[in-house]
């Protein structure tokens, strides 16, 4: 992945930095991000739109991995930003991310969160439901302040890896149904509002998608709807947001497409459809999360205890686990790994990698092919950059890991390791009197 290599001593290096040095300096568990790879991915999305002459915004879906430094990196790479909570918005603003390039998502944004968006005058709010339309009208009228909006719709196309399913009515907690009149009703309620500027439509059809057909179909359905509104209300759609979900390679079984292929295919279809229907081509916005940061992240752990269950399996346990990567336990997600200090040795052994959390399901990889290992070795699990740290918890009061960025032989701490003091900082002593 990216700038990963093996040094002469057989150590895994990332961004020309020895991972063993990183583990020594910053401790483990540690997330290491190859920022050159994040930049490369961002550029390949953005450059493809440029090459095709299509106006676009590539918004980093920051739920995948959010912190001040990654927001600054995203800003540097001319990405826009998808935030889904007041906390992500706050962090982005704190990082100095340009407010006009921030898009705010969510199916239950609070009044305080919406006010926060108005205060910062962010680029756009992606409106999810009728209650939110009501709130936005009240807030914008009270403040006499304009806000740009997209309507999130569910087109009845749901994609996952190689397949997609189409349904007449989507059973989703998100968005207005495109097929049962809800989207039309939302359009009626927002079109031509004094303070709400309706830019267009948004949809997100799934995650870890390896095929472009689902995006194309969803894009066509949205353009059809826009064409209806063009005819009935002379509506001009300026933005079509087709969401994220572009797949990445976690293991050799995964076969994602290159970023440019996803973009090229969706543009071709949308352009054709818009031409046929006599519409001006809208700007295309996308929201990649995983495909920008997923394979740029590597988790480093120190191997501690080992256990053999005779005739069944060998366990090795690491100093982290489901508290820093919930994906195997939650989604049965698969990963590949290497012993970072023996990366040149053959992978002749099979180990199951257990975490240190008090739960039998806390396994990071079942039956991992690995170099023969011993306690004290450093384990690197690849492709943990998306939905790893961002979904981390303090289960068992385990402190969250540190995060290091590496590029071109340099390294820097991006997020400090949590301390035990951090963990108790919001705890208060018991003051209730004991009942007799």
Does 243 carry a binding-site annotation?
Answer: no
In the complex, minimum distance from the CB of residue 128 to ligand LLP, in angstroms, rounded to a whole number: 10
Q: How many CB atoms lie within 10 A of CB 141?
A: 13
Q: Judge contact between 120 and 93, C-beta under 8 A.
A: yes
CB 223 within 8 A of CB 241: no
- Contact region for ligand LLP (CB under 6 A) — 96-104, 250-258, 288-296, 351-359? 288-296
Residue nearest to ligand LLP (CB): 289
Instruction: Please give the full DSSP string across 11-29, using - where no structure is assigned.
Output: -EEETTEEHHHHHHHH-SS
Does position 342 interact with ligand LLP (CB under 6 A)? The reply is no
| Beta-sheet strands, E only, within 249-292 | 283-286
CB 62 within 8 A of CB 52: no
CB 244 to ligand LLP: min, Å: 3
Pairing of strands 124-127, 102-104: parallel
Strand partners, 415: 403
**Alpha-carbon gap, residue 9 to 110, rounded angstroms:** 54
| By the rule CB under 6 A, 385 interacts with ligand LLP | no
Q: Which of 207, 212, 227, 341 binds ligand LLP (CB under 6 A)?
A: 207
Binding window for ligand LLP (CB under 6 A); candidates: 16-24, 47-55, 232-240, 282-290: 282-290
Cα 35 to Cα 192: distance, rounded to the nearest angstrom: 43
Report how many residues bind ligand LLP under the rule CB under 6 A: 19
Residue closer to ligand LLP by CB (options 35, 62) is: 62
Q: How far is the CB of 100 from ligand LLP (least distance, A)?
A: 19
380 bridge partner residues: 300, 338
Of 152 and 411, the one with the shorter C-beta distance to ligand LLP is: 152
Residues 225-264 that bind ligand LLP (CB under 6 A): 243-246
Of 45 and 301, the one with the shorter C-beta distance to ligand LLP is 45
Question: Of the candidates 106, 200, 214, 289, which one interacts with ligand LLP according to CB under 6 A?
Answer: 289
Q: Do residues 385 and 65 touch, judged by C-beta distance below 8 A?
A: yes
Edge-to-edge strands of the sheet including 12-14? 5-6, 12-14, 17-18
Helices vs strands, H then E, count in the chain:
12, 23
Nearer to ligand LLP by C-beta: 101 or 105?
105
Q: Are 303 and 377 in contact (CB under 8 A)?
A: yes
- Residue 58 vs 339, nearer CB to ligand LLP: 58
Q: Kindly give the residue spans of alpha helices, DSSP state H, lying in 6-98.
A: 19-26, 35-51, 68-76, 86-94
Which is nearer to ligand LLP, 33 or 246 (by Cβ)?
Answer: 246
| Interface characters, 42-61, with ligand LLP (x: CB under 6 A) | -------------------x
Determine whether the annotation assigns residue 288 to a binding site.
yes
Q: Please name which of 69, 17, 43 lies closest in space to residue 389, comparing C-alpha atoms.
A: 69
Contact status: 383 vs ligand LLP (CB under 6 A)? no
Q: Which stretch binds ligand LLP (CB under 6 A): 162-170, 214-222, 257-265, 287-295?
A: 287-295
Pairing of β 196-202 and β 239-241 = parallel
132 assigned to a ligand binding site: no
Q: Which of 15, 106, 256, 288 binds ligand LLP (CB under 6 A)?
A: 288
Q: Which spans in 290-384 are helix H?
A: 290-293, 327-331
- Angle at CA 72, nearest 5°, toward 70 and 77? 95
Residue span 96-125 as binding mask against ligand LLP, x where in contact by CB under 6 A, dash where not: ---------x--------------------
Residue span 148-187 as binding mask against ligand LLP, x where in contact by CB under 6 A, dash where not: ----------------------------------------
Active site residues: 358
Could you list the residues that contact ligand LLP (CB under 6 A)?
Answer: 61, 64, 82, 105, 204, 207, 243-246, 287-291, 327, 331, 386-387
């Amino acid at each position: 992945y990216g700038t990963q290599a093996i040094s002469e001593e057989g150590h895994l290096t990332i961004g020309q930095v020895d991972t063993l040095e990183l583990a020594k300096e910053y401790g483990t568990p540690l997330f290491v991000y190859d920022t050159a790879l994040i930049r490369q991915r961002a550029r390949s999305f953005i450059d493809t739109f440029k090459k095709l002459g299509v106006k676009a915004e590539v918004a980093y879906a920051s739920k995948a991995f959010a912190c001040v430094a990654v927001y600054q990196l995203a800003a540097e790479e001319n990405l826009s930003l998808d935030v889904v909570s007041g906390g992500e918005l706050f962090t982005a603003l704190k990082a100095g991310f340009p407010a006009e390039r921030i898009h705010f998502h969510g199916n239950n944004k609070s009044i305080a969160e919406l006010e926060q968006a108005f205060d910062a005058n962010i680029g756009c709010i992606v409106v999810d439901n009728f209650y939110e339309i009501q709130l936005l009208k009240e807030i914008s009228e009270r403040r006499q302040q304009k806000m740009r909006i997209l309507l999130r719709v569910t087109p009845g196309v749901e994609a996952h890896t190689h397949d997609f399913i189409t349904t007449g009515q989507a059973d989703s907690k998100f968005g207005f149904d495109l097929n049962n009149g809800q989207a039309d009703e939302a359009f009626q309620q927002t079109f031509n509002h004094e303070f709400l500027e309706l830019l267009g439509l948004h949809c997100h059809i799934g995650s870890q998608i390896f095929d472009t057909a689902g995006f194309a179909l969803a894009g066509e359905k949205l353009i059809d709807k826009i064409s209806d509104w063009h005819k009935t209300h002379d509506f001009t759609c300026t933005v079509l947001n087709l969401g994220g979900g572009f797949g990445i390679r976690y293991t050799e079984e995964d076969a994602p497409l290159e970023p440019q292929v996803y973009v090229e295919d969706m543009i071709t279809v949308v352009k054709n459809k818009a031409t046929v229907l006599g519409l001006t081509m809208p700007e295309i916005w996308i929201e990649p999360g995983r495909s920008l940061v997923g394979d740029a992240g590597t988790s480093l752990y120190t191997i501690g205890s080992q256990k053999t269950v005779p005739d069944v399996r060998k366990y090795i346990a690491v100093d982290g686990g489901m508290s820093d990567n919930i994906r195997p336990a939650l989604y049965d997600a698969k990963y590949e790994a290497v012993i970072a200090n023996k990366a040149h040795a053959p992978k002749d052994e099979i180990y199951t990698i257990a975490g240190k959390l008090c739960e039998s399901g806390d396994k990071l990889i079942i039956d991992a092919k690995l170099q023969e290992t011993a306690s004290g070795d450093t384990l690197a699990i690849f492709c943990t950059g998306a939905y790893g740290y961002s979904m981390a918890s303090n289960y068992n009061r385990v402190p969250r890991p540190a995060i290091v960025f590496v590029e071109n032989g340099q390294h820097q701490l991006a997020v400090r390791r949590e301390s035990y003091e951090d963990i108790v900082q919001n705890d208060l002593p018991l003051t209730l009197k004991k009942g007799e």
